Amino acid sequence: MDFGYTEDQKMIAELAKDFAEKEIAPHVDEDEENHFYRREILSKMGELGLLGFNIPEEYGGNGLGWMEAVAALYEIAKVHTSWRLSVSGNVWGPALTILEYGTEEQKQKYIPGLCSGEYAGSFAITEANSGSDVASMKMTAKDCGDHWLLNGSKMWISGGHTCDIGLVYAKTDPAAGAKGVSCFIVDYNETTEGVSRIPIHKKVGMWPAPTSELVFEDVKIPKENLLGPLNKGFQICMWMLNNTRMGCATGAAALSAAALEGAVQYANERTQFGQPIGKFQMIQQQIAEMKLEDDAAKLMVFRAAWLKENKLPSQQATSMAKLFACNAAVHGANMAMKIYGSYGYSDEYPCGRWLRDAKQFETLEGTSNIHMGIVAGIELGYTPNR
């Protein structure tokens, strides 16, 4: 097994790293302080082709696959993990799902703009009382002959109030449980009447990443905006999540790496008792623990990407990568704050941001408990590994 990048993957990783250092890094502190979403960064990512992974060139994609995508996203998220949401929100959510399930008209209309950054994307599943239990959602879509009528609300939607295009999941047969969910493409530039998009400002972390509550009151959606077969939305949703969870896994592994790099640098710079604190065994133990978990997380992420690249069953590997990288990020950020000491608790260093941002991975796109269940269920033979 080859553990190195190909020349193309190296170029993509270097391109993404250069972009992140020049376009994202200079604004991190300001955007964190102001909870500010810098929309132009998304457009610039699109211009460089960093939103076109896994999408054929005929639809505006870059024609590159999972390995290149993860290599690029890893470098971006290492600088500021809030921006890893752009890839999931644009590409692995709406664009890739429309590519898989959409009509030719839908593909031509929406995918190129999502890849270029002209459109910001999102997907809306979670509700106030429906999280891990997706099939219990209450939002409905009623067939009114020449249009669909959406009623209900969604909660904790990444990019919900800043996006142009979103996938929205709703019940088209409320009595049928998982077999009564359908998926709809909502064009927020065309559909505004009856839609309320409310920013959620009070969050522990991910401050520059927009998060929203969406309220739909008798919102008319064109009949042609149904994505995929009627009442097959649950299957579409699970297929989509197996892709977008790669964004979570990659972002968590990148945050783990950022915390490790920062801790190593600080341990070599900070002196106590006449020597760098990295010379003390307790600090070395912390660094060693971080390194072990960080390497394992990165390998799991790229293993899952390789399986996807080669069209092999990847659901278990993706959940393992997301779960382990999440644990590595949380533990690594916590260790970094300890190594930095009192300075780790100040805004002068990024330890607080690392820890705040790491915690969201334990919930986002499947809680850690859910992913434990997926891994165990597949291993025990209770569910197939898709």
Burial class (CB in 10 A: 0-12, 13-18, 19+), 218: exposed
Crossing angle (nearest 10°) for helices 66-79 and 233-269: 50
Burial class (CB in 10 A: 0-12, 13-18, 19+), 336: buried
> Residue 291: CA atoms inside 13 Å, Cβ hemisphere, count?
8
Contact 348, 340 (CB under 8 A): no
Active site includes 365?
yes
User: Who's near 26: CB < 8 A, 6+ residues apart?
Assistant: none
Nearest 10 degrees: Cα torsion 133, 138, 142, 148: -70
Contact 141, 172 (CB under 8 A): yes
User: Who's near 130: CB < 8 A, 6+ residues apart?
Assistant: 136, 137, 138
Structure-token pair, residue 325 = 């990288």
CA distance 275 to 261: 20
Length of the chain: 386
CA distance 299 to 307: 12
CA distance 145 to 77: 45
CA distance 364 to 359: 9
Contact 169, 124 (CB under 8 A): yes
The DSSP call for residue 130 is B
Contact 102, 264 (CB under 8 A): no
List 23, 75, 293, 365, catalytic entry: 365
Longest dimension (CA), the chain: 79
If we measure between CA atoms, which residue out of 93, 109, 76 comes closest to residue 163? 93
- Annotated catalytic residues are 365
